Structure 1
Amino acid sequence: MFAAAENLSLREVKAYRDFYHSMVICQVFPGQLGDPTHNPFFPIDNATSWMTSHGYQLYLGHDDRAVLAFPWAPEDASTKQLKAYRQNLEILGDEYLDHPFFSLENSKAWINLVAFQAYMDMHFGEFHSIPNSRVPSRASSFVGSRASSRASLVPSSRASSPVSACPDSRPSSAMSFSEVIEIYDSDDPNDLNPWGEPPPPVLIPKVEEPPLPDKSTTLIPAAPARGPSQQRKGKGKEKAKQISITRQLKVDEILDIPKVPDTWDVPRQPTAYRLDASEYLHLLQTEEKQTMAFDTFIRSQDQDSWTGSTGHSKGDVNVSGFTSDPNEKLWSRRCQFRCNGVETCEFFDPALLADCERYEPDYEAMSGLFNHEMDATEDEAAFPAGVISRFYSRIMSSKCKIECDGTPILVRRSKGADKYGKKHFVGCSKWSPAEQFDHLYWPIDGNIDEDTLHHIIDGCIKPGRIVPRPCNTEMLIFIPVDSEYSHQAIVILRQPHNHPVHPKSKPSADDLAKLGTAVRAAGVTGLTVQKLIDAHRISSAPSTSTIYGGRLTERSPALTDKRRLRDLIGREKKKEHPHGMGWEGVLYQLNTREVKLTRSERYIHTAMSKNGFRLVVTMHPQIVRFIHRILSLNIDYTFKRVEGKMNEWEVAGFLDRFKKRITFGSLYCDTATREAFSQLFTELFDTIRLVTGEILKLAPFFPDAACRVIILDGEVPQAQGLADFLAVYNNPEISGIHTRDPVILLASCLKSCNPHFERFIATSTNSLHIYQGQP
């Protein structure tokens, strides 16, 4: 029982119990022993029952900044040695020695590696080390300052014993191990060596044979002071001039890089990258005219994907290295990220990436992995099982056109075998005659064996899942909190990637900025992806290759994805038309822009909503003026929805002047009723009169008319709507036609094209009604 624990302050007892949470690898107790829900729990109220003088000596004598290595591992020791260590070390109170938590099976959770190393060196073999005197231990700084309260707690033999410390993993020929202190600015105690994998155990040549302490002495006492003859010279003195980034983080050098790279090099030695975005601040502007955080911009440019914390005010630190003055520090936000790695199929061979360590981009390795995938795909096609497997996967990934919880099944063909001799097809279990075209349908390919497919349809094949493969590479980014310097950053990367470099599938901000310039130069109206790519072939169009300094897809491989280009064109169109390309966008365009133009300059002439339908009239004034010279007016209701329920009504005619068919205007309507078509004809003729200054004359209603006929498709409501319009259009005093019968008026100027006549008239001769009206 450690009665002296009652004289320690609450802070001191907590620090002793929470020794595991310090940023060093050694420990007295695991951190969970301070959790009230854990069994056992070391309560501060009863510290005398679980603290011991030997354990407290170990805590006080420990050097926080020593770099450790452990030739003796607990896994290599015998159970007899482990029991002797647990009994003789005496860091536990008697009542805890037999607790299951401190069993040998759980030794990894509670063994103190530092104490275990010293114990094994003393009893089973020597482990020599060079003490590190540059940093005082707790015993020299903490106890010395309070000698009056601690003198009775710590045995005096502590000060004369050697420190059990471990050297750095760098070669001993470069410098002595005590010359450099490796400090890892991380909360993870397992990350001893942040610049790579943990170093292998190193045995150090014995400098001096220290006397073995007896059991009454502390196992890890304070480090003795180094004498004048032991001061470091030469390379060690030069190495000591490491650059401090934070109080606990040092690097060998700082490299200035002009712009954010698309793939970062992971340095093999402690190195920091310094960035300054002063020259490209415009690239940090978002589409909403806001400035992107610099750390967000850095990650957005990287082909690798990162996740983690963008910092918190409690984690802000003073950081040097932003300027050439090492003493100048800026209060900075600390961002810490970890690489997301890659995603692979669950059946992926892990041996392909088992030895992968990427410090610098290796595009040959990426190409090799890609070729391996292509080879596997090619080989798969050569095996019958592979063919069936792919066909099965396509079936299982397909869905019905409607909401359906049915499953794919083999259905016997009602008309016998098809031309490939297949007697079945793949259908849905919920198929019904009423929904015969709404469920999935897969004919069986000629190279598929029906019997084998019938077997695997019952569930013998399971498609592979995509699973993540984590990566341990870390990225630290320090961004000044002061907005005046927020465009600067210090970036530090640790540990190599465990996967090859990614293909350049993510365009940089500079690429996107140039692409936006090219899109705006070409104009978004009618712009398509192919037109943008081929703009350099059109002499009258701004050249995309001039803006890019070459063909777009060659200068930026990430923009070979046409969907990405289509999305960007869509965003530029949204900027041009902020209310979209639908009905709301048409009203906005008409009421804010078109009304400011004269009739001869407008494109949108009418947008109206009437009796449950919507109608839009568009015309090019410089083209429609030639409509008075056509011999026939051709109107095609396309039944192709261009936006929502809106269908296009195309008005065209053949002009002998140009020897070509010309589209004079397009009308849009969301309804195909008689009333809607009547209104379409009314708005069409009214707009032609307003734009050209004269009415479009039709024979026989005007004797001097050039246009002889209106050609429509076989839509009955469309013909009825024209008839209703003609009843108003006809002026008996001019035409000499005094009947108001719509059908008679319609017969005088309506024609249907041959395809529509054959499709809708010739096939309905048995049901035709012969009109017997009187003129």
Structure 2
Amino acid sequence: MLDHFGDAKALEYRDAVLDPVLIAMMPDHFSIENASSWLNTDSFATWVAQEMQRNAPMSPSKSSAAGSRDASRAPSMKTPSSRLSSRAPSSTPFRTTPKVQRFATPVEISDDSEDDLATVATPSKRTLPQLNLKAEPDEAAISLRRKSKAKREIIEVSSDEGDDVAPLRKKARPTAARKPRGAVQITRQLTCDKLIHLTELPTCWTIPVDGLRTAYFLDLTKDTRKWATDDGESMSMATIIKSQDQDAWGGTGSGGSIGRASVVMALDSVKCQRARHSCQGIYHCNQLDMSLLDGCERYVPDPNQRRDLWEAERKINEQEGSTVIAKVAMFYKEVQKKRCPHVSNGGVQCAGLPVIRNLKEISNDGKRHFIGCSKWSRSDPAYQHRFVSIPIDVHEGHLRHLFQNKGAFVDDGSLAEQLRVHSGKCGNVQLPRNGGRGKQECAFTHINEQGQIVQGKLIQRACKATITIYFPVDRADRRAIVLLEGPHNHPMPASTKVSWDGKALYKNAVEAVGVTGATVVKVDSAQSTSNIVGGSDPSACDPALSRARAKRKIIQKVKATVAPHGNSVIGVQHRMLTDRESLPKEDLYIHKVDVDHTTVVVTMLPALAARIHSAKYSLHDNTYKRLHGDWKEWEVVIWDDRLNMRLTIARIYCQNETRDAYRRMWSGLWNTIGAVTGEEVKFKFMHGTGLRAILVDGNKPQAEACGDDLLSRNNPDISKYHGRDAMEILPFILRTCYIHFDRFLTKLSNAVDDATMKRVRGCIFLETAEELDAFKKFCEESPHKMLRDWYSDKKHCSWFFPSLNQFFSKMSEEDWFLTPGHTNLNESAHPFTNQHTGINLSLLEGIERAPSGKSLLLYRRKIF
């Protein structure tokens, strides 16, 4: 149907039927190349018929000859000397698709697009609709497109002035009739006047300005680079061209169906796909000084065209923090953007607005106010709604006025100069890859002449420059024909897009350093990186590599290649299964991934884990810095007397710190050690040999879960312990770190008197049950709320005081004095681990980098 009516009619239908806002938002989707996706053929045919009826007269004119017709309905093209049929019109309705009369002699024309075809026309037996075209009243011409597999041709016919038949007048492509055929044949329908040969990829293309139709012949045949995607597939020439181009092109990037490929004579008649793109322009703040862009026409890449924009942005940068009201306005904008974090019991997000409220006392920063929520009520839990402290460098008086005046400064004469500074125009211009995303808000502060804070919006400046690429279907053929039409209406973009070369270079640098745990700082500072890029800074090879965000993105892609299943639990499971198939049992590190209820991952090296069978005690503590998000790492440390050193024998990962989660961690630890070493872990109070003590940091769920697991392992026939209370079994083996206990006492000392503190500190040295009962009563009746709350939390923990005080512990005196009363061995391991593995790692990266340091070295030397 498009072949019959033409592209122009389809675009006219689009503009008449579809919402122009929708077309502007999605220009690529509603392009003529993508017509199959948005054009409904039935609706289009009906619309065309209605348009033809609307423009045609109800009946042929009977009162005047053709020479005296209204000029507004006269044809616009001169008619050759042949005649139209003078057959009388029929009373039956006209045919919307006239019959085509075939002629033997074609008239060759030139065309500048393979989609623009010449049309022919024939007389009809019925009344034909007349289009409203301007022309000389004594001439008429008809051209009608006919569908044929043979060579397309234009047929010219003429009409007598006295004919009563109203001819069909359909617009023809003016370029088809006016432009002479060029000297260089590109495709069967497309020619050009000049062909420029290139052997290197431009980063910004020059658009011809000499009036000649010019094409570029890009030949990368001698280019030794292996152009391939991240998946290893060979890149098309269109993709290669766009990967190096700093301008933002959008459109039908796929190049259409291979089955509809064109034969390109300029490329030795190979079959080629065609990709046609439009420049996506730029995004700029709606407060921009438009004189920076007005009249801009870019044909030739010129970095100097950016200078005025660059200077304007530097100026607005200087102004941003140059006045007191600017800092106030920036803080006001930020608090307005963030919503209140409170969620009701029914799951409803709080819709409260930020308001300024009074503090009960002056803050340490000297502020009397804070930013609260308008929906807050005294019945709500503390700190559940918005609570934002006012920064020390924000003027509290001006901020209060802003909230009172709905975001407007009230000038009493003292702010005139400051308001003048910020009432100027903006200089913020962004490329589509940045400005076309997110909320599209300008990051700079704008204040109008009335003192009102204005949120700048990023709007698109459309550009009419286009690029057409003919590239071979054969991906091994590194040639292409490129045609550009323009000009651009914006300056040459800055080099913020990393080229294919830059990506490949930095990818090699990442792999040289090591993918696991790779960061921008680590890669940039490595000597191997300096050797690869040929200098000290990667940006020396590609200016876009000066942006840390661009380098992080490359690192993430490299990591995704190494870990195709991701770096979270699924990736860990995949790595565990892969290792089981490829590694011997003694080298396996990930042993268990339990995802029931709560996820628990158990890791250890069998040879290191076996050292627990000769250890006197084990230490257990969480560390939080190494892993990103809510993952916790539970380190298990022992002191090895034979080696006279600390060993981290296992690491367990979990996202929760509940009693059930710790129960799974304890059972996972002891069961896995038994499985990988072939020997069950023994506890002295149960088996007469084995671990004398288990040291923890005082975490209540951790200790109680330890009791649950020990009780499940107890065999009364061997241990002679017949109790069924998990809390009563803990005093036989559990010790709480007194340094962690002392940290609480330090906090408590800020809230109670010295006499009270002296008695609390002495609780770990009490010797009789009567003294302990008196201490408990002292805490319970204390006038200090903090002390009462602390004891209320420990009141039902029968294991707590025995884990701190030898006189109430059920451990033997020997076991008590042969085991430490603190977890410093464990605590001191955290900084060492963080230093060697890094922090804020993903789960899989944290697991892969954990088995390092001296313990791993000893394991590899097999000195155990």
Short-chain TM bin: 0.5 to 0.7
Contact 1:283 1:509 in 2 (8 A): no
Whether 1:473 aligns to 2:414 is: no
Whether 1:434 aligns to 2:380 is: yes
* Worse overlay, 522-531 or 721-730: 721-730
CA deviation profile, 1:84-141 (whole Å, cap 9, x unmatched): xxxxxxxxxxxxxxxxx99xxxxxxx766xx79xxxxxxxxxxxxxxxxxxxxxxxx9
Whether 1:415 aligns to 2:360 is: yes
CA deviation profile, 1:519-540 (whole Å, cap 9, x unmatched): 344443333333222332xxxx
Whether 1:565 aligns to 2:551 is: yes
1:467 Cα deviation from its structure 2 partner:
0.5
DSSP 3-state at the match of 1:605: strand
1:617 Cα deviation from its structure 2 partner:
1.2
Aligned equivalent of 1:452: 401
Whether 1:254 aligns to 2:254 is: no
Give runs of aligned pairs for residues 5-44 of structure 1, distance below 5 A.
36-37=50-51, 41-42=55-56
Give runs of aligned pairs for residues 294-309 of structure 1, distance below 5 A.
294-309=237-252
Whether 1:462 aligns to 2:407 is: no
Q: Which amino acid aligns with 2:791?
A: T
- Which of 706, 721, 726 lines up with 2:705 in the alignment? 721
Contact 1:260 1:301 in 2 (8 A): yes
Q: Which amino acid aligns with 2:695?
A: I
DSSP 3-state at the match of 2:584: coil
Whether 1:710 aligns to 2:694 is: yes
The whole-number CA distance in structure 2 between the counterparts of 1:740 and 1:312 is 74
1:620 Cα deviation from its structure 2 partner:
3.0
1:650 Cα deviation from its structure 2 partner:
1.7
Contact 1:339 1:474 in 2 (8 A): yes
Aligned equivalent of 1:386: 326
The whole-number CA distance in structure 2 between the counterparts of 1:697 and 1:111 is 103
Give runs of aligned pairs for residues 367-378 of structure 1, distance below 5 A.
367-378=307-318
Flag the 1:362–1:440 CA change in 2: closer, same or farther, 3 A: farther
Contact 2:467 2:484 in 1 (8 A): yes
* Structure 2 unaligned spans of 5+: 13-46, 69-73, 82-106, 112-130, 138-153, 164-170, 409-451, 746-759, 761-786, 803-807, 811-864
Flag the 1:585–1:420 CA change in 2: closer, same or farther, 3 A: closer
The whole-number CA distance in structure 2 between the counterparts of 1:568 and 1:726 is 48
Whether 1:649 aligns to 2:597 is: no
The whole-number CA distance in structure 2 between the counterparts of 1:553 and 1:560 is 5
Aligned equivalent of 2:669: 684
- Which of 508, 516, 525 lines up with 1:534 in the alignment? 525
Aligned equivalent of 2:207: 266
The whole-number CA distance in structure 2 between the counterparts of 1:365 and 1:657 is 73
Contact 2:359 2:370 in 1 (8 A): no
Q: RMSD in angstroms over aligned alpha carbons?
A: 5.0
The whole-number CA distance in structure 2 between the counterparts of 1:50 and 1:318 is 52
Aligned equivalent of 1:60: 79
Give runs of aligned pairs for residues 66-105 of structure 1, distance below 5 A.
none
- Which of 406, 416, 419 lines up with 2:351 in the alignment? 406
Contact 2:695 2:736 in 1 (8 A): yes
1:709 Cα deviation from its structure 2 partner:
3.4
Whether 1:552 aligns to 2:538 is: yes
1:319 Cα deviation from its structure 2 partner:
3.3
- Which of 752, 756, 766 lines up with 2:740 in the alignment? 756
Q: Which amino acid aligns with 1:569?
A: I
CA deviation profile, 1:423-471 (whole Å, cap 9, x unmatched): 4332222234525534333333432513431244357433111111122
* Structure 1 unaligned spans of 5+: 1-13, 22-32, 68-100, 103-109, 117-140, 156-185, 195-238, 323-327, 537-542
Contact 1:425 1:442 in 2 (8 A): yes
Whether 1:365 aligns to 2:305 is: yes
Q: Which amino acid aligns with 2:246?
A: Q
DSSP 3-state at the match of 1:457: coil
- Which of 642, 649, 652 lines up with 1:667 in the alignment? 652
TM-score (norm 2): 0.58
DSSP 3-state at the match of 2:310: helix
The whole-number CA distance in structure 1 between the counterparts of 2:615 and 2:64 is 105
The whole-number CA distance in structure 1 between the counterparts of 2:172 and 2:218 is 25
Aligned equivalent of 1:490: 481
Q: Which amino acid aligns with 1:426?
A: I
Contact 1:677 1:718 in 2 (8 A): yes
Aligned equivalent of 1:513: 504
The whole-number CA distance in structure 1 between the counterparts of 2:541 and 2:399 is 49
Whether 1:336 aligns to 2:276 is: yes
Contact 1:320 1:329 in 2 (8 A): yes
CA deviation profile, 1:251-295 (whole Å, cap 9, x unmatched): 443233334333222233343222245566985543445454432
The whole-number CA distance in structure 2 between the counterparts of 1:349 and 1:487 is 44
- Which of 289, 296, 302 lines up with 1:349 in the alignment? 289
Give runs of aligned pairs for residues 192-203 of structure 1, distance below 5 A.
none
Flag the 1:628–1:533 CA change in 2: closer, same or farther, 3 A: farther
The whole-number CA distance in structure 1 between the counterparts of 2:735 and 2:198 is 73
- Which of 600, 608, 627 lines up with 1:615 in the alignment? 600
Aligned equivalent of 2:336: 396
Contact 2:109 2:176 in 1 (8 A): no
The whole-number CA distance in structure 1 between the counterparts of 2:184 and 2:492 is 30
DSSP 3-state at the match of 1:498: coil
1:47 Cα deviation from its structure 2 partner:
8.3
CA deviation profile, 1:659-718 (whole Å, cap 9, x unmatched): 87543221124554545434433332343344456566666667776x653221222232
Whether 1:597 aligns to 2:616 is: no
Flag the 1:405–1:246 CA change in 2: closer, same or farther, 3 A: farther
The whole-number CA distance in structure 1 between the counterparts of 2:712 and 2:653 is 22
1:726 Cα deviation from its structure 2 partner:
3.8
Q: Which amino acid aligns with 1:719?
A: A
Contact 1:621 1:691 in 2 (8 A): yes
The whole-number CA distance in structure 1 between the counterparts of 2:256 and 2:646 is 67
Q: Which amino acid aligns with 1:462?
A: V
Aligned equivalent of 1:10: none
Contact 1:317 1:333 in 2 (8 A): yes
Aligned equivalent of 2:571: 585
Contact 1:428 1:439 in 2 (8 A): yes
Give % identity: 30
1:474 Cα deviation from its structure 2 partner:
1.7
Aligned length, in residue pairs:
593
Contact 1:283 1:510 in 2 (8 A): no
The whole-number CA distance in structure 1 between the counterparts of 2:48 and 2:668 is 83
The whole-number CA distance in structure 2 between the counterparts of 1:438 and 1:382 is 35
Flag the 1:753–1:387 CA change in 2: closer, same or farther, 3 A: same
Q: Which amino acid aligns with 2:79?
A: L
DSSP 3-state at the match of 1:531: helix
DSSP 3-state at the match of 2:186: strand
Contact 2:237 2:475 in 1 (8 A): no
The whole-number CA distance in structure 2 between the counterparts of 1:727 and 1:434 is 42
DSSP 3-state at the match of 1:255: strand
CA deviation profile, 1:44-99 (whole Å, cap 9, x unmatched): 974889994595695226999999xxxxxxxxxxxxxxxxxxxxxxxxxxxxxxxx
- Which of 219, 226, 229 lines up with 1:286 in the alignment? 229
Q: Which amino acid aligns with 1:370?
A: W
- Which of 637, 656, 668 lines up with 2:622 in the alignment? 637
CA deviation profile, 1:3-49 (whole Å, cap 9, x unmatched): xxxxxxxxxxx99x99x99xxxxxxxxxxx98744896135974889
Contact 1:636 1:650 in 2 (8 A): yes
Contact 1:256 1:275 in 2 (8 A): yes
Whether 1:443 aligns to 2:389 is: yes
* Worse overlay, 281-290 or 647-656: 281-290
1:394 Cα deviation from its structure 2 partner:
1.4
The whole-number CA distance in structure 1 between the counterparts of 2:57 and 2:232 is 55
Contact 1:392 1:457 in 2 (8 A): no
1:346 Cα deviation from its structure 2 partner:
0.3
Q: Which amino acid aligns with 2:395?
A: N
The whole-number CA distance in structure 2 between the counterparts of 1:301 and 1:731 is 71
